[in-house]
Chain A
Amino acid sequence: MRRPLRLRTVLLHGAAVLLAAALAHPAPAAETAEPVAQSWSFSGPFGGLDLAAAQRGFQIYKEICSNCHSMNQLYYRNLSGIGLSEDQIKAIAASFTVPKGVDDQGQPVEGPALPSSHFHAPFPNPEAARAANNGALPPDLSVIVKAREGGPDYIYGILTGYADPPPDMKMGDGMMYNKQYPGNQIAMPQPLQDGSVTYTDGTPNTLSQEAHDVVTFLTFAANPEMIERKRMGVRIVLFLVMMTGVTYVVKRKIWADLH
Chain B
Amino acid sequence: MVGLHKSEFANPVVNWIDQRLPLFSMMKNEYSSFPTPKNFNYFWNFGALAMINLMIMVATGVFLAMHYTPNTAMAFDSVERIMRDVNYGWLLRYVHMNGASMFFIVVYIHIFRGLYYGSYKNPRELLWMLGVVILLLMMATAFMGYVLPWGQMSYWGATVITNLFSAFPVVGESIVTWLWGGFSVDNATLNRFFSLHYLLPFVIIAVVFLHVIALHITGSNNPLGIEPKGPQDTIPFHPYYTIKDSVGMCVYLTVFAILVFFAPNFLGHPDNYIPANPLATPADVVPEWYFLPYYAILRSVPNKLIGVLMLFGSIGVMFILPWLDTSPVRSARFRPIYRQLIWVFVIDCLVLGYVGAKPPQGSILLIGRVATAYYFLHYLVILPLLGKLERPLPLPESISQPVTRGGGPLPAGAAATPMEKV
Whether, in the assembled complex, B80 has its beta carbon less than 8 Å from a beta carbon of chain A, the answer is: yes
Q: Interface digits, A20-31 against B, CB 8 Å rule (1 contact, 0 not)?
A: 011011100000
A122 CB → nearest B CB, Å: 18
Decide if B367 touches A147 in the complex (CB within 8 Å). Answer: no
Partner of B243, one of A21, A225, A244, A254: A254
List chain B residues, Cβ under 8 A from A37. none
Q: Which residue of B lies closest to A183 (CB)?
A: B283
Partner of A258, one of B38, B77, B347: B38
Known: A1-B336, A146-B273, A258-B38. A25 touches B351 (CB 8 A): no
How far does the alpha carbon of A243 sit from the alpha carbon of B80 in the complex, in Å?
A: 33
Partner of A225, one of B90, B251, B358, B405: B90
Instruction: Name A43-84 residues within 8 Å CB distance of B.
Output: 45, 72-73, 78
How far does the alpha carbon of A143 sit from the alpha carbon of B83 in the complex, in Å?
A: 11
List chain B residues, Cβ under 8 A from A232. 91, 261
List chain A residues, Cβ under 8 A from B94. 229
B63 CB → nearest A CB, Å: 16
Decide if B262 touches A147 in the complex (CB within 8 Å). Answer: no
List chain B residues, Cβ under 8 A from A7. 337, 340
Whether, in the assembled complex, A132 has its beta carbon less than 8 Å from a beta carbon of chain B, the answer is: no
Whether, in the assembled complex, A199 has its beta carbon less than 8 Å from a beta carbon of chain B, the answer is: no
A251 CB → nearest B CB, Å: 5
Decide if B90 touches A142 in the complex (CB within 8 Å). Answer: no
Q: Which residue of B lies closest to A236 (CB)?
A: B257
Known: A25-B363, A147-B271, A254-B239. A240 touches B246 (CB 8 A): no
The interface residues of chain A, by DSSP majority, are classed as helix
Q: Which residue of B lies closest to A233 (CB)?
A: B261
Decide if B84 touches A21 in the complex (CB within 8 Å). Answer: no
A83 CB → nearest B CB, Å: 18
Known: A147-B274, A237-B257. A258 touches B80 (CB 8 A): no
Whether, in the assembled complex, A109 has its beta carbon less than 8 Å from a beta carbon of chain B, the answer is: no
The interface residues of chain B, by DSSP majority, are classed as helix
Decide if A11 touches B341 in the complex (CB within 8 Å). Answer: yes
List chain A residues, Cβ under 8 A from B80. 73, 142-143
List chain B residues, Cβ under 8 A from A259. 405
Decide if A45 touches B262 in the complex (CB within 8 Å). Answer: yes
List chain A residues, Cβ under 8 A from B240. 254-255, 258
Decide if A251 touches B247 in the complex (CB within 8 Å). Answer: yes
Q: Interface digits, B358-402 against A, CB 8 Å rule (1 contact, 0 not)?
A: 100011101100110000000000000000000000000000000
List chain B residues, Cβ under 8 A from A18. 347, 351, 367, 370-371
Whether, in the assembled complex, A33 has its beta carbon less than 8 Å from a beta carbon of chain B, the answer is: no
Whether, in the assembled complex, A8 has its beta carbon less than 8 Å from a beta carbon of chain B, the answer is: yes
Whether, in the assembled complex, A166 has its beta carbon less than 8 Å from a beta carbon of chain B, the answer is: no
Q: Which residue of B lies closest to A221 (CB)?
A: B84
Whether, in the assembled complex, A102 has its beta carbon less than 8 Å from a beta carbon of chain B, the answer is: no
Q: Which residue of A lies closest to B390 (CB)?
A: A4
Q: Interface digits, B319-362 against A, CB 8 Å rule (1 contact, 0 not)?
A: 00000000000000000110011001001000100110010001
Partner of A22, one of B243, B244, B264, B355: B355
A132 CB → nearest B CB, Å: 20
Q: Most chain-A CB neighbours within 10 Å: which of B80, B270, B271?
A: B270
A-B contact pairs, 23 of them (CB 8 A): A3-B337, A4-B337, A4-B340, A19-B347, A22-B355, A22-B364, A25-B364, A142-B80, A146-B270, A146-B273, A224-B84, A229-B94, A233-B260, A236-B261, A237-B261, A240-B253, A240-B254, A251-B243, A251-B244, A251-B246, A255-B243, A258-B38, A259-B405
Chain B residues engaging chain A, CB cutoff 8 angstroms: 38, 77, 80, 83-84, 90-91, 94, 235, 239-240, 243-244, 246-247, 250-251, 253-254, 257-258, 260-262, 264-265, 270-271, 273-274, 283, 336-337, 340-341, 344, 347, 351, 354-355, 358, 362-364, 366-367, 370-371, 405
Q: 9 tightest A-B contacts by CB?
A: A233-B261, A147-B273, A244-B250, A225-B90, A240-B254, A4-B336, A146-B273, A45-B262, A25-B363
Chain A residues engaging chain B, CB cutoff 8 angstroms: 1, 3-4, 7-8, 11, 14-15, 18-19, 21-22, 24-26, 45, 72-73, 78, 139, 142-143, 146-149, 151, 182, 222, 224-225, 229-230, 232-234, 236-237, 240-241, 243-244, 247-248, 250-251, 254-255, 258-259
